[in-house]
Structure formats: C-alpha cells, structure tokens
Amino acid sequence: MAAATLVLEDVSKSFGAVRALRSASLTVQPGSIHALVGENGAGKSTLIKIVAGVHRRDGGVFELNGEAADFSSTAESKAAGVAVIYQEPTLFPDLDVSENIFMGRQPGSTLRIDKQRMYAEAAALFERLGVAIDPRRPAKGLSIADQQILEIAKAISLDASLLIMDEPTAALSGVEVERLFTVARQLRDEGRGIVFISHRFEEVFDLCDTVSVMRDGEYVSTETIAETSVEAIVAKMVGREVAELFPKTPAEIGDVVLDVQGLTSPGQFRDVTFQVRAGEIVGLAGLVGAGRSEIARAVFGVDGYSAGRVSLNGAAVAKQNPRSAISAGIAFIPEDRRKQGLVTEGSVARNVAGVIRTGLSRLGVLTSRAENRAAGPWAAKLEVKTSALDMRAATMSGGNQQKVVIAKWLVTQPKLLIIDEPTRGIDVGTKSEVHRLLSDLAGQGMAILMISSELPEVLGMADRVLVVCEGRITADIARDEATPENVMHAATHRDGHVAGATHSAAAGSADSQEVTA
Amino acid sequence: MSATLVQPSKAGLLSTILRSRELAIAVVLVALVLVATAKTESFLFSADGWRNVLLNPAMLVVLAIGQACVIITRSVDLSVGSTLGLTAYFAGRLFIDFPSLPIVVVVLLAVLLGALLGLVNGVLVSFAKVPALVITLGTMYIYRGIFLTWAGSSRITADQIPRSFSQLGTQQIVTIPVLTIVALAVLGVAAYFLSSTRPGRELYAIGSDPDAADLYGLPVLRRVLLAFVASGALAGLAGVMFLARYGTVSSQAGQGIELQAVGAAVIGGVAIFGGSGSALGAAVGAYLLVTINSVLPILGISDFWQQAVVGALILGAIALDRFLSLRQDAALVAARDQAPPSGGGGSPGNPGSSAPSAPTSPQVTA
C-alpha cells in the first residue's frame, strides 16, 4: 500500500498565551476524501495553515507522501504538492480572473507569458466547474460564490497531490456544490488525497469516506463514514453541554431600545428591519461576508446607508455620525479589537478613559491622573487582570484585552451594546468569563446586539437569533426554537421561509418576547 | 439568442477614451502641442522646436517608468532625485579621473551605482517594515548628503567631459534625439516586462493585495527588491542622461524631480494604491507634464498658474480614477444584486439580469 498522503501526529501550536492546538492528529490516504469536523475554534484552520506553510508547528510529526515535512512558507508547501482553498477568498482585485488562477506560474515561460493559452486554460477550468465567468474580467466585484469558484479553479489547476478545502461550500448554491463534488470525486479517483472541512453534515456524509473530529485543539476520533452517524459525530464535537459554556441567565425583557427600519446600503445589505429590547441579547448569525458587520457598522454610524431609519428609545440616531451614536447611548465593539477597538500601544487607563476624554480634560489638558481615576473602578469591576493600569494593553491576553475594550465602553453607560465576535481568538476558559459579563449586562437592562460566527455561542447566548444571508435578514428565530439546522439553513438560503422559524422581522417581534432559558 | 438584446448599449467614444487612460492623456498631449503650434508655428515646425518637444521629457520618462514599477507594488521611491544627482556627478568624475574609460563602461557603472542605491532602499523597506514613503524620504536626504560631502564645492562643467559624450545629449538620428531613443528603448523593455513576464505580473499582484500575495507563495521580498533596484538603476541612467544633456552638475542636480516622477506616473494612470497602471501611461504622463510647462508660457499664462495647472492635472487625474472605479464598482455590484437569488452563479446570459440602461428592446425570453 502506498504511503499516506498526509500524516499529522500530536501536532501542537500556541499563539502567545492561546494554545490553538494541543495534540492534533490527522491521516489522509491517497484516493480518499477525508472530512475534518469540529466547532469553530477547535483548531481546524490552524492545523490547515500548518500544512499550508502559513504557520509553523511547535511540536509533533508532519509527513507528506511519506516524507518528513516542515514548511516555512506557502511557496514551499505549494511546491510540495499542497493546494489549499481558504475559507475567505484571497484574490487580487485589480487583476483579471485568469491571472488570479495562474499568478506566478502562468502558461509559457518566466519571461514570456502565453496569454492566449492562459485564457484558454482558465476557460477550460471554468467549463469543468460549469460556471460562466469571463476569463478576462477583473476579480473585483465578483460575488462571494464566484470568488469561491475562482479559489477552487486555482486549487485544481495546481495539480496537487493533497487538496485541502476549508468550508468551500459556505457561499455556494446547490448546483455549484454538486459541480464541486463531481470534481472532488474525479480528483479522488485520480488518487489524490482530499481534506474537506464543513459544518454541513449532509455534505460530509454525501461526499466523504472518512471523518475525523477535533475538539479544543485536540484529536478526538477517526471513523469511516459508513460506520458512524450525525448524532455520534455531534456528540464527539461538542463533548459537553452547551449550557456549561454559555451561561445566559434569563433577564426581564423591557421596552424596545433599538429600532431599525428598512436599512439599505447597495451591495452590502438590503431592507434590514429589526428591534432589540432592554435586557435582551439578540444574536446576528450568518456566514462570513453575509453583511452582519456592515449592518452593525451602519447602525453605529461608522458607515452610511442609502435608505432606512435607526432609532434608540424612540429618538432617531443621526446617520453616519458615530459621535452622536455614542452620545445617544450606543456602544460598539468591533470584530478585530487590535485593529479597531483598542489602542494596543496605550495603557489600560488611557484605553478605558479614551471615550470620555473630553469630560475628563481640564482646560483642554488631559492628565494621566485623571485617566487613572476614571478607569480604576471599571477595570476592577470587570476583573481585568493587569498588574497596573499603566500596563500596555498589547501585552495582555485576548480575554483581558476584550474586557478592557468592554470596560472602555461601559464608562459611557450605554443603553445598547453592539459586539462583533465577542470571543474570537480567546481561550476556551476565558470565553465563559466574557459570556458571563455579557449576560450580567443584559440582566442590568442593557440591550445587546451580538454578532457571532460560532453557532453554539449564538444558540447559547441569544434570546433571539436573526439570520443574515447575502445582506438580507432571512430568519428571526426565538431562543427555544433555534437549532443549528434551521439557523444554517436560513444562513444559506436567501429566499427565506425556514420551517420552524418565526419570521416576524417586518411586523415587529412581539411574539418572541417570552423567552425561557 | 436573446442574450445579445439585453446587453448594455454600445460604449460611446468618450467613455472608450476615458477607459484607456493612456489614450486619454495622449489626446490631451496632442491637443496641447497643436494649440501651441497654432499660436507659435516654430513650437513644432523648426529644427530646435521639434528637437525640444521630443528631447526635454526624455529624462523624466525614464524616471517615471522606474517610479511606476515601485508604485505598482504599493510603495513609492522619493530618493530618485538624489540618486540622479549622485550618479550624474559619479559619471562626471569617472570622465575626469579616468579619461581612458570608454563611454559605455561609464554609463554601465553609473546605472550600477543607481541599482545599488535602489537595492539599499528595497532592503530597508522590506526588512524594517516601515512604509517606503518614510524610508525613501530618509534615503533622499542621505544620498543628497553623500553627494554634497563628496562634491564639496566642486562641480562638473561641460568642458571637463569628453565632447563625444556631451554630443550625445543633443545628437539626432533621423531627426530623433538619441536620448529620446534611449527613453523609448526603456519604455519598450519596461512595457513588455510589466505586461508579459511572470515577475512583472507579480509586481501587480503584490500591489493589489500584499496578504494574498503571501498566501499565494509569491516571492514578495525578491519582487519588491526588484522594483526598487529597477527604479534606482533607471534613476542612474537618468543621471547619465542629465550629464549628457546639460554637461553641468551642481549640488542641486535632480532636486525635486522625484515629485515630478510621481506626478507623471499618477497622471498616466498608475494608481497610487498599487495594482494597476502601465509603463506607457507613466511615459505619456511624463511627456504631458514636461510639455505643459513649455506650452503654458507660449499661451501667455503666468508662472503662478503654470504651477497651479500642473497641480490641477494631478488632482484631476486622481479624481477621475476614483470616479471611474466607484462607477465600475457600483455597476458590478448592481449586476450582482440583480442576479436571481440562489441561482446557478448568476450566468451573464440570464434574461432576468437585464441592464437598466438597455434600450427599448422588449423582454425576450429564450
């Protein structure tokens, strides 16, 4: 028997204080399609990036086609025959789609690209995938689905011995998924090894031969598809009760705090209508790129919108004016806290006091003493574990950074908190502290709009789940009716109407008030 | 098939010109020359006039092409003016100190020195992870400082360099000045390199999305170095051209020309955010920038307005780029929004996606 295409044993990897992988293992045989499943944060993407040469492992065995491998760049892994389709497309918007596929290895020679052949080969690839994309058009402006098709075409053209697909179907329609599967089966029959990462179990069972489960950065099990079931896999993936991790306690739901009517921004989102009440946590679910963050940014006023209305406690919130949103009582914690929410080079106190700076300054001068005085009580309340308030925020762990960001906004005493991916990049242990904090805030009567890609987090924390698909709200599901299946279905079907969902977005959401924990 | 009926109406002449940036700038350039000639016939129809129109921009063309290579990778090289001055002085010194050296060797050494100075820029930009704007601003002063220290109070004058070399500065072959031929040769090589070789295309990819270029496994470091070396080498060549053309090299040689080079590239459609533009565009931009400076006095426009016109040209070019790209984005997004929901990838021939601007053609179904 030939050597396994890919062998990973006991692989570990840490990013600072966060242990992304503890002991991950995966063995892929040639001529098979191997499913890799696990919750978000289980370490699948990190494992893939080690194989792809983006990250380097800290320890463990890594073999490719029977030979020891250790890639320090993506070029090395590519040369060794690894093709990766990443979750989020990585394209060159200014270049045409054919160049995007063949960049760096265009047909012809290094000093003479054969453009006619390049366009012909791209057209042939698109035909094989059954899509109508003009090989000469720029990648700019392609839909997410078409971008994903482009990634697939790129990977296929590499003629690799190992093809890794990280949620390739997330943005694809049924027809396109079928075509992709046909191609994947062809590649398998040619003797290549394929790794398929997906959250859609029907696809895993339809396409794959073997399935490996990961949880919290560790290998759990490997089975052949024929000998297992969806229930068995889910049990292994979760391995614990959802309630343990996500302690949302029932809170009294009060009046409408945030009222969004018909919000539209061309190309981003369309006719978005929803409400958030006091004491309520509303989860905004959907695929990456569906427009959730864009909606949040528009509500807060960072971005503009072409039609619609946002009001807080009945008073209209000015459009495209974050300052008036803050003074109206909205707090916004963006997705990438290092980039957008936290001055990482600044001290904890400066970060916390930053928002209310004008109120603290005397004669226009802001002193460190005044900053420390204002920040002290808040950081203490949130149990931010920093030795001193003048410690630099960059040196703290992800969980503590997130708490500093939350503290920063609590100083303004907001009525509505919008939080985008509250626990991204945070250790499993620290996650529950952030969750408890959010739950407490809701208990004190704050309205919370939470965007999250982690389904268990949405299902565990949210009183109500709004699902966004391609810029539209496709479902509004009350807590006790929300299941991974109906949320995922709504997230992938723009036409809406999900069985079991209370679709009341337009009529207001009075019926989803009574929430049981 | 019905698909042809629902395609957008034919593009007008104006929008075709706007879409090809090189063509648009060339049209403006030709118009300028025609207007100037109509006013003063000798602007074009005299031996000197003809020569100057072709010759004056040659040096800036070479610099602008080098600058384009760097800007395409989302960087900028502000040190080219100092490099030009330094290499011009270096070439002059070689002629004075080693009179037996053939001209070709002197030219090659000067280009090599420019390439070396470019390499220093590239290494600093790649390894210090500081924006090129800051790094090359620093090296601009450093290279100028080296030049000043080396030259001291001395300067190169026309009588110190061989006649056979200084003649090149004004010599013509079939009425085309030699320096213009050099610039055209550089243009030909650079245009081919940028459009039809793998390393050339990789420069665009790096400028279009540096993170994606990393994930692709492109040799980003080597390509960025290549762009800076090319820019430095071309600045070295421009230094030699400077020496041949003017014969005199003072400590101010090339001062401020780096901004003209950036301006020429931007006017020629090289996007300052990287990822698009062409060598031809940068060259035509350089021609326009130089020519406009000699045409405006003929038209009786005051010095103040001459500077302002150049500024307006740059701002107008950027505004036009922005406007066109916003319009293109909006059109692409509109096309996507109109695609049927959950359809098979929104095939372009689908009757449901008829363009709003379609003429009164009746809705035909296949």
**Residue B9 confidence (pLDDT):** 38
Which B residues 175-204 touch A at CB under 8 Å?
196-199, 201-202, 204
Q: How far apart are CA B153 and CA B251, in angstroms?
A: 9
A120 in a structural domain:
no
Closest residue in B to A76 (Cα–Cα): B217
Has residue B30 got a pLDDT over 50? yes
**Residue A406 confidence (pLDDT):** 78
Cβ contacts from A onto B, under 8 A: 126
Mean pLDDT of the region A444-463 = 87
Residue that wins the pLDDT comparison between A198 and A239? A198
Range scoring the smallest mean pLDDT among A423-427, B23-27, B261-265? A423-427
Contacts of residue A146, Cβ cutoff 8 Å, sequence gap at least 6:
A131, A133, B345, B346
Q: Are A254 and A148 within one domain?
A: no
A309 in a structural domain:
yes
Q: How far apart are CA A212 and CA A107, in angstroms?
A: 38
The CATH number of the domain holding residue A206 is 3.40.50.300
Nearest to B209 among A75, A92, A493 (CB): A92
Mean pLDDT of the region B161-170 = 90
Is A145 near chain B, with CB under 8 Å?
yes
The predicted-structure confidence for A63-113, as pLDDT tens digits, reads as follows 999 899 999 888 899 889 999 988 777 889 889 999 999 998 899 998 999
The predicted-structure confidence for B237-294, as pLDDT tens digits, reads as follows 999 999 999 999 998 899 999 999 999 999 998 988 899 999 999 999 999 999 998 8
Closest residue in B to A177 (Cα–Cα): B344
Has residue A467 got a pLDDT over 80? yes
Q: Are A232 and A255 within one domain?
A: no
What are the CA-CA distances from residue A41 to residues A37, A38, A167 (Å)?
Answer: 11, 8, 14
- Do A334 and A340 form a contact (C-beta atoms < 8 A)? yes
Q: How far apart are CA B7 and CA A142, in angstroms?
A: 18
CB contact under 8 A, A112 and B196: yes
- Do A354 and A343 form a contact (C-beta atoms < 8 A)? yes
Mean pLDDT of the region A361-389 = 58
Has residue A354 got a pLDDT over 80? no
Model confidence pTM above 0.80: no
**Residue A34 confidence (pLDDT):** 95
Is A150 near chain B, with CB under 8 Å?
no
- This model of the complex carries an ipTM of 0.80
**Residue B21 confidence (pLDDT):** 77
Q: Are A32 and A87 within one domain?
A: yes
Contacts of residue B169, Cβ cutoff 8 Å, sequence gap at least 6:
B178, B179, B241, B244, B245, B246, B247
**Residue A412 confidence (pLDDT):** 74
**Residue B351 confidence (pLDDT):** 36
Domain boundary among A209, A239, A269: A239
Closest residue in A to B350 (Cα–Cα): A132
Q: Are A216 and A185 within one domain?
A: yes
A387 in a structural domain:
no
Q: Are A278 and A149 within one domain?
A: no
A517 in a structural domain:
yes
Q: Smallest Cα–Cα separation from B18: which of B269, B275, B195, B266?
A: B269
Mean pLDDT of the region B198-221 = 92
Has residue B343 got a pLDDT over 50? no
Q: Are A289 and A325 within one domain?
A: yes
Nearest to A110 among B197, B328, B334 (CB): B197
Nearest to B217 among A74, A145, A266 (CB): A74
Q: What are phi and psi of A485, to 5 degrees?
A: -65, -50
Mean pLDDT of the region A344-372 = 58
Query: What does the block give as tokens for B229?
Result: 């070396």
Name every chain B residue with its beta carbon within 8 A of the beta carbon of A142: 332
**Residue B122 confidence (pLDDT):** 96
Mean pLDDT of the region A211-236 = 86
Range scoring the smallest mean pLDDT among A79-83, A195-199, B72-76? A195-199
Query: What rounded mean pLDDT belongs to chain B?
Result: 85
A39 in a structural domain:
yes
**Residue A509 confidence (pLDDT):** 36
Is B8 near chain A, with CB under 8 Å?
no
**Residue A471 confidence (pLDDT):** 86
Q: Are A52 and A189 within one domain?
A: yes
**Percentage of chain A surpassing pLDDT 90?**
27
CB contact under 8 A, A267 and B276: no
Nearest to B342 among A110, A115, A494 (CB): A494
Has residue A499 got a pLDDT over 60? no
Query: What does the block give as tokens for A25?
Result: 């293992």
Q: Are A166 and A71 within one domain?
A: yes
Is B346 near chain A, with CB under 8 Å?
yes
Has residue A343 got a pLDDT over 70? no
The predicted-structure confidence for A298-321, as pLDDT tens digits, reads as follows 998 888 888 999 999 988 888 888
Mean pLDDT of the region B20-37 = 87
Task: Assign residue A460 a region (left: φ > 0; alpha: ψ between -120 and 50; beta: otherwise).
Answer: alpha
Has residue B365 got a pLDDT over 80? no
For each of the domains in chain B, give its residue range(s) and CATH number, in order of start: 13-325 (1.10.3470)
Closest residue in B to A105 (Cα–Cα): B198
How many domains is chain A partitioned into structurally? 2
Query: What SS3 class is residue A316?
Result: strand
Residue A315, class by beta-carbon neighbours within 10 Å (0-12 exposed, 13-18 middle, 19+ buried)? exposed
Domain boundary among A239, A272, A295: A239
Mean pLDDT of the region A455-482 = 88
Domain boundary among A188, A206, A239: A239
Nearest to B215 among A86, A99, A149 (CB): A86
Is A99 near chain B, with CB under 8 Å?
yes
Mean pLDDT of the region B210-234 = 93
What are the CA-CA distances from residue A335 to residues A106, A294, A423, B209, B243 (Å)?
Answer: 37, 11, 9, 21, 56
**Residue A273 confidence (pLDDT):** 94
Nearest to A141 among B329, B341, B344 (CB): B329
Q: Are A151 and A79 within one domain?
A: yes
Closest residue in B to A100 (Cα–Cα): B205
Range scoring the smallest mean pLDDT among A152-161, A290-299, A405-414? A405-414
CB contact under 8 A, A78 and B215: no
Name every chain B residue with its beta carbon within 8 A of the beta carbon of A126: none
Name every chain B residue with its beta carbon within 8 A of the beta carbon of A495: 341-342
Is A231 near chain B, with CB under 8 Å?
no
A313 in a structural domain:
yes
Question: Which string of DSSP letters, residue by residue, matches A365-395?
Answer: B--HHHHHHHHHHHHHHTT---S-TTSBGGG
Range scoring the smallest mean pLDDT among A2-11, A244-253, A372-381, A443-452? A372-381
**Residue B18 confidence (pLDDT):** 58
**Residue B217 confidence (pLDDT):** 87
Contacts of residue B23, Cβ cutoff 8 Å, sequence gap at least 6:
B16, B17
Is B356 near chain A, with CB under 8 Å?
no
Query: What SS3 class is residue B181?
Result: helix
DSSP state of B357: T
Q: Are A61 and A194 within one domain?
A: yes
Q: Are A263 and A234 within one domain?
A: no
**Residue B293 confidence (pLDDT):** 87
Strand order in the sheet with A281-286: A330-333, A416-420, A447-451, A281-286, A464-469, A472-478
A378 in a structural domain:
no
CB contact under 8 A, B219 and A134: no
Query: What rounded mean pLDDT belongs to chain A?
Result: 80
Has residue A364 got a pLDDT over 70? no
Residue that wins the pLDDT comparison between B328 and A27? A27
Grade residue A355 by pLDDT with cuts at 50, 70 and 90.
Answer: low
Mean pLDDT of the region A449-456 = 85
Q: Are A156 and A176 within one domain?
A: yes
**Residue B8 confidence (pLDDT):** 39
Name every chain B residue with its beta carbon within 8 A of the beta carbon of A146: 345-346
How close B321 comes to chain A (CA, Å)?
Answer: 13
**Residue A115 confidence (pLDDT):** 92
Expressed as residue numbers, the domain containing A311 is 243-329+415-423+448-517
A379 in a structural domain:
no
Name every chain A residue with its beta carbon within 8 A of the beta carbon of B194: none
Nearest to B219 among A54, A75, A270 (CB): A75
